[in-house]
Every structure is written in structure tokens, then in C-alpha cells.
């Protein structure tokens, strides 16, 4: 029997709670995490079991999250799960993107292949299943878009009521459209994500509504299976680097936890290094780590200074006061990782290069390639290092951004003026009259 409990993330506190306890944080104010004691875990048996499940038709085995359920054993084994075959996302080699970054090879793990088009589904299946197991009927989140789309879908599918809080006018159209279509009570707050979060966090709890943001430890459990599936796809050969975008920093926390646990259980021989990439205008963790290095002090001693008015066109990661910064910092330290920041121009062009590789992603995801390029140019990542970048969301989430980039009208509003983005890889549509000769000339000039 595996024993399961919730524990305060802060080792100095270390308070424990039963896994059925409903509380958004520890009594001391730090976040909680799910902990297990795995007395008889055999890594070779686990790998064989997970592999054999690929031919099973059990809904849990068809899920790329629950297939690895020995890694996330927080539910009783007979508890139903709310699953839509999430996970199962491909690892795709991208030669063109590798060349752009200055690497010999680069693989993308594309979480945009999930049911609602983002990595949030990996954590929502576990979070929503725990909500149902606890007898909760109403679930809520504050979101920059993807969490709300995912929550809306999983709640609808599982027969729960979803309430979503989003910063008005600051989420991509594809994500808002999803939430509306899946029937979530959609509340647009006229403020940014951080302000909305501060207002809603305790209010939701007091209303008896179950909060499914990534501060929820069961969301983290599902998201950590992204790296488990990745290692399986790599034949359990650990890459040198895993690179991902950072916003509220739940995913960085989840990846680090998953990697440490896989090492502890003997599934992998060593830890890869983790590189978390933030957008320059919304980069509080990057700024903290840089300041700590400059002052020769531990970042813990300084503490995170929130970015008051975070800016970036990668709206998914427009967050100035990330809830999981302490967890993410611990994981960066545990993996000897780094945190980098990239500009709007760098994100936009990296996104276009991912598109030209035939892969495509939403803006926040492209921060990975922009960050890798920067880290390679600084010799932090070696050109023959083995690197996996996680594309967190689908290209179709934010069509407005992509169209504006290719049309040359993309710009970041800044203190009254607009900061234009010059597309390095534009692909403007060409308008023609219904004239065969003209179309023929066009084809001759453009397809040679």
C-alpha cells in the first residue's frame, strides 16, 4: 500500500494534512504538495506495466496521465476519473527550429495536442477527478485563458459546474470561445490576472467552491506526468535540458517534482537541467535570480518582487506575481537549472520559426525557442546538448496574434505608445482579382 498525504511545501513547517483535506494552502500560508511513500516500487515493473497499457481499452489506460497512475496514487483505486484521453502528446524533432536556435537537434513535446489544446488538460483531469471524489459540485479558477478553457471542458464532461474568472480583454479569443462553448459561468474582471487572483482566492474558498488553479496540489500531480511521458518517449534516456515557459510557475513546479520523484524511484538515472523562460515584461522570477547573483545572496533571502503592471503579448504568461514561485525556484535549484527572459520580438520570430517547421504553437510556448537561442548564444546550453522544449499551447488558441504578425501590424501597447514588432518571417496573404493570367504570373514568380 502506498501511503498518501498532503504536506506543506516549506520544509521548516512540514505540516501534514490528510489527502481529503480541502484547503488552498497550509495554515502557515505556503503551498501544499501531495506526498507518497512508495514502499515496493519496482521501476522495471512499472515501465513494463505502463508500456503494456498502451494496448488496453480501459479509459484510464487510454489517458496519457492515468496510464502512469502509480506515479500519482492519490485516489482510491476504484474511484472514477474524469478523463478525455489527455496527454499522449507527441515528441517532434524540428530541424529548422534547431538550426534557428544554434543546436544540432531539438525536439518539441507538443502539449497543444491535448483535448482543449493546452498542457492544462494533464492537470485538469487529476484536479477535476479529485473535486468529484471530494463530493464538490462547483469548481473555479482565475486564468489567463488556458486553465479556464480546460476547467470548463472537464467540468462539463464530468457533470460539475465551472466558474471562471478572467482578466477582461486580456485573454486570447480562442480560449474565451472555448470557455463559453463549454458552458462555464464566465466572469470577466476589469483588472489584470494578479489583481483578480488577490480578490478571488479567498472569496472562492469561503463560498465553498473548489479552486482548481495550479496552486491545487492535484493539478500539479497531473502536470508532472508530462515529464514522465516524455522520459518514456525518450526510452528513459534523460536529455540535458528541458525548457518550458514560466507564468504562474505551476508547471515548472510540477516538472521538477516529477523529475525528482522519477529519480528517487529509479526510473531515471539523473536529473535533466530545467530552463524556465519568461517574457521580459512579466519576468519576476528572472529578475529575482539575476538580482541574487549580482548581490551574491541567496534568492530566498531577497524574496520575489512582483512586477506591478506585467506586459506581454504572450497573454498566457502575463503574470507579475506568480503563486508558485517558491516551488519553481526550488526545482530550478534542484535541477541546476536557469531562468531566462526574452523580448516580444524574440518570442514573435521564434513562434514564426516553429510555424515554419510545420508545428505551430501559441505565443507563450514560443518563448521556449527564443530562450534556447539566447542560452545557446551564451554557451549556457551547448550546441550538441540534447534539448526538449515543451510547447504548452496550440497555434489556434490565439489566431489574432498570428494574423497580426504576418500582416505586420503586431505591436505591444506601452505607456500610451505602441511598440511595433517587425516580423522577421512574414507571410502576407496576397489578394488577386479573378483573372487567370494574373494568377498564373503570380504562381510563376512565387513558386520557382
Residue closer to ligand F0G, measured from CB, 64 or 145: 145
Considering the complex, what minimum distance in angstroms separates the CB of residue 235 from ligand F0G?
27
- DSSP lists the bridge partners of residue 161 as 138
Rounded CA Rg of the chain: 22
Tell me whether residue 365 or residue 402 sits nearer to ligand F0G (CB atom): 365
| Closest to ligand F0G by CB, 175 or 273 | 175
Closest CA to 319 of 369, 267, 276: 276
Report the interface residues with ligand F0G, using CB under 6 A. 118, 120, 143-147, 214, 245-252, 316-317, 362, 364-365, 392-393
Q: How many residues are listed for the chain in this entry?
A: 448
Among residues 421, 167, 428, 150, the alpha carbon closest in space to that of 280 is found at 421
Report the residue number, 130 or 315, with the smaller CB distance to ligand F0G.
Answer: 315
Q: Which is nearer to ligand F0G, 36 or 401 (CB)?
A: 401
Residue 180 has which C-alpha cell? 463559453
> What is the separation of C-alpha 445 from the centre of its chain, rounded to a whole number of angstroms?
42
Note whether 391 and 112 are within 8 A (CB).
yes
Beta carbon of residue 392, minimum distance to ligand F0G (angstroms, whole number): 3
Of 199, 227, 147, which Cα lies nearest the Cα of 397?
Answer: 147
Residue in the structure block whose three cell numbers are 471562471: 164
Shortest distance (Å) from residue 219 CB to ligand F0G: 9
337, three cell numbers: 537549472
Cβ nearer to ligand F0G, comparing 222 with 246: 246
Question: From the CB of 314, what's the least distance to ligand F0G, in Å?
Answer: 8
Enter the C-alpha cell of residue 432.
Answer: 488577386
CB of 245 to ligand F0G, least distance (A): 4
Q: What is the maximum span of the chain, computed from C-alpha positions, in angstroms? A: 77
Please report where in the chains the cell 480583454 appears, as a residue: 169
Non-local (6+) Cβ contacts of 435 within 8 A are none
- Residue 308 has which C-alpha cell? 506591478
Planar angle of CA 347, 313, 165, nearest 5 degrees: 130
Place of cell 535541477: 335
As a whole number of Å, the end-to-end CA separation of the chain is 66
Nearest residue (CB) to ligand F0G, 121 versus 232: 121
Instruction: Indicate the residue among 158 and 310 with the shorter CB distance to ligand F0G.
Output: 310
Give min distance, CB of 446 to ligand F0G, in A: 33
Question: Minimal distance in Å, beta carbon 141 to ligand F0G?
Answer: 7
CB 93 within 8 A of CB 106: yes
**Shortest distance, CB of residue 133 to ligand F0G, whole angstroms?**
23
Nearer Cβ to ligand F0G, position 46 or 375? 375
Q: How far is the CB of 46 from ligand F0G (least distance, A)?
A: 26
Q: Are strands 338-342 and 210-211 parallel, antiparallel or unpaired?
A: unpaired
Task: Identify any residues that bridge with 34 across adjacent strands, giving them in sequence order.
Answer: 6
Amino acid at each position: 500500500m502506498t501511503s498518501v498525504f498532503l504536506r506543506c511545501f516549506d520544509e521548516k513547517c512540514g505540516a501534514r494534512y490528510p489527502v481529503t483535506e480541502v484547503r488552498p494552502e497550509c495554515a502557515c500560508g505556503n503551498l501544499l504538495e501531495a506526498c507518497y511513500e512508495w514502499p515496493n516500487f519496482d521501476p522495471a515493473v512499472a515501465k513494463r506495466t505502463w508500456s503494456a497499457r498502451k494496448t488496453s481499452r480501459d479509459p484510464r489506460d487510454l489517458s496519457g496521465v492515468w496510464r502512469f497512475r502509480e506515479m500519482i496514487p492519490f485516489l482510491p483505486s476504484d474511484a472514477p476519473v474524469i478523463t478525455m484521453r489527455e496527454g499522449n502528446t507527441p515528441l517532434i524533432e524540428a530541424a529548422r527550429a534547431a538550426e534557428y536556435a544554434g543546436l544540432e537537434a531539438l525536439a518539441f513535446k507538443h502539449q497543444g495536442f491535448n483535448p482543449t489544446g493546452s498542457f492544462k488538460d494533464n492537470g485538469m483531469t487529476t484536479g477535476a477527478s479529485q473535486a468529484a471524489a471530494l463530493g464538490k459540485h462547483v469548481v473555479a479558477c482565475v486564468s489567463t485563458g488556458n486553465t479556464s478553457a480546460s476547467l470548463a471542458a472537464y467540468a462539463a464532461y464530468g457533470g460539475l459546474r465551472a466558474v471562471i474568472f478572467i482578466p477582461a480583454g486580456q485573454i486570447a479569443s480562442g480560449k474565451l470561445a472555448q470557455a463559453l462553448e463549454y458552458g462555464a459561468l464566465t466572469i470577466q474582471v476589469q483588472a489584470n490576472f494578479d489583481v483578480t487572483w488577490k480578490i478571488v482566492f479567498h472569496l472562492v474558498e469561503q463560498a465553498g467552491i473548489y479552486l482548481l488553479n495550479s496552486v491545487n496540489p492535484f493539478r500539479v500531480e497531473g502536470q508532472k506526468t508530462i515529464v514522465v511521458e516524455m522520459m518514456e518517449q525518450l526510452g528513459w534516456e534523460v536529455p540535458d535540458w528541458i525548457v518550458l515557459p514560466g507564468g504562474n510557475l505551476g508547471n515548472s513546479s510540477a516538472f521538477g517534482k516529477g523529475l525528482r520523484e522519477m529519480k528517487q524511484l529509479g526510473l531515471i538515472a539523473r536529473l535533466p537541467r530545467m530552463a524556465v523562460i519568461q517574457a521580459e515584461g512579466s519576468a519576476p522570477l528572472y529578475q529575482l535570480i539575476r538580482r541574487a547573483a549580482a548581490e551574491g545572496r541567496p534568492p530566498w533571502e531577497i524574496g520575489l518582487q512582483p512586477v506591478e503592471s506585467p506586459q506581454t503579448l504572450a497573454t498566457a504568461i502575463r503574470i507579475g506575481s506568480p503563486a508558485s514561485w517558491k516551488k519553481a525556484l526550488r526545482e530550478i535549484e534542484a535541477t541546476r537549472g536557469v531562468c531566462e527572459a526574452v523580448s516580444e520580438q524574440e518570442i514573435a520570430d521564434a513562434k514564426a520559426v516553429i510555424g515554419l517547421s510545420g508545428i505551430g504553437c501559441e505565443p507563450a510556448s514560443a518563448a521556449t525557442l527564443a530562450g534556447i537561442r539566447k542560452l545557446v548564444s551564451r554557451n549556457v546550453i551547448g550546441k550538441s546538448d540534447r534539448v526538449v522544449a515543451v510547447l504548452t499551447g496550440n497555434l489556434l488558441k490565439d489566431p489574432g496574434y498570428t494574423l497580426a504578425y504576418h500582416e505586420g501590424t503586431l505591436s505591444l501597447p506601452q505607456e500610451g505608445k505602441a511598440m511595433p514588432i517587425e516580423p522577421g518571417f512574414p507571410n502576407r496573404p496576397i489578394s488577386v482579382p479573378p483573372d487567370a493570367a494574373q494568377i498564373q504570373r503570380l504562381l510563376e514568380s512565387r513558386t520557382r
